[in-house]
Amino acid sequence: MNSEPGHLSSVRLIDEYLRYLRVERGLSSNTLSAYRRDLTHLAAFAQESEREILTLERANLVDQVARLRDSGSNDATIARFISSVKGLYKYLLAEGLTRRDPTIFLEGRKAWQALPRFLSPREIASLLAQPDTKTDAGLRDRALFELMYATGMRVSELTALKPSDVEWEAGVVTCFGKGSKQRRVPIGRDALEFLKRYLPSRARLLGEKSSSYLFVDRRTPRLTRQQVWKLIKTYGEKAGIDYITPHMLRHSFATALLENGADLRSVQLMLGHSNITTTQVYTHVTSRRLVESYKKFHPRS
């Protein structure tokens, strides 16, 4: 078979693998349904990343696992997802459709409980400086990135925002997270300023069209998650950031808050985590950085 990455779509690969499990392995319909759910999540993630399953790398899979954990998935759900994904890549290797296995280092629980990846303050500043704010689309993108970093909102929450969700005078935004849970998050001075500057651009981007959503495009009345992923990737490359995802801005938001003295409960509420143990992973990040600083700067480290 042709082993060139990307020559088969993610959906087709999944269908062929599930057919193999049904015919050759004789798995039950319930088991196959569970596999399909997990692999559908993988395919959606690949699409958002502008990749196919055959071109995903370990870093991509770690990021997807972090997203599952961040959204409240328990250990059993994450372990099952990894098992499904590992089975798929084992099949792809056996069929000669790929020569590498990006799941090879996701064996144990410690391996897939990797710390969240986040951007440094310098990388954040470089990313925010990339959009050309002299254009309507550039001003929209700057407002979008400022809001992502200022609030830690998920992409799905950002693309669902409406202008009425922003309390302009109070500097607070109301968003709806997983399970339609509502939360209010402070915006911050810089993000609020760019949002206000963006509103006239929003009207020009819409033209004769109408939209109830805050972030729009000339062609569509609402930015999609895929469009936001593409924007992040494009601007990240311009900023010289090797690997970047929208979720890394969320991680950067939480890490910055904790490093500057915010309490864990407040960060939990702003992120919309249902369980504080999900938020506690960021304390490991800040603790690790403290140790690194100690080793670097203390004369007797």
CB 282 within 8 A of CB 117: no
Q: Would you state the pLDDT for residue 287? A: 60
Q: Would you state the pLDDT for residue 207? A: 92
Q: Would you state the pLDDT for residue 7? A: 42
**DSSP-assigned beta bridge partners for residue 175:** 183
Q: Would you state the pLDDT for residue 301? A: 46
Per-residue pLDDT tens listing for the chain (301 residues): 333 344 458 888 999 999 999 888 888 888 899 999 999 989 988 888 788 899 898 888 888 887 787 666 777 888 889 899 999 999 999 999 988 888 877 765 554 555 577 898 999 999 999 999 999 999 999 999 999 999 999 998 999 999 999 999 999 999 987 767 889 999 989 999 999 999 999 999 999 999 999 999 999 899 998 899 899 999 999 999 988 888 889 889 988 888 888 888 888 888 888 777 777 777 766 666 655 655 665 565 4
Half-sphere exposure (CA, 13 Å, Cβ side) for 280?
A: 4
Give the span between the Cα atoms of 139 and 191, in whole angstroms.
11
Give the active site residues: 154, 178, 247, 250, 273, 282
159-212, pLDDT tens digit by residue?
999 999 999 999 999 998 776 788 999 998 999 999 999 999 999 999 999 999
Q: Would you state the pLDDT for residue 296? A: 65
Domains of the chain (ranges; CATH) run 10-112 (1.10.150.130), 121-296 (1.10.443.10)
Q: What amino acid occupies position 267?
A: V
Q: Would you state the pLDDT for residue 117? A: 78
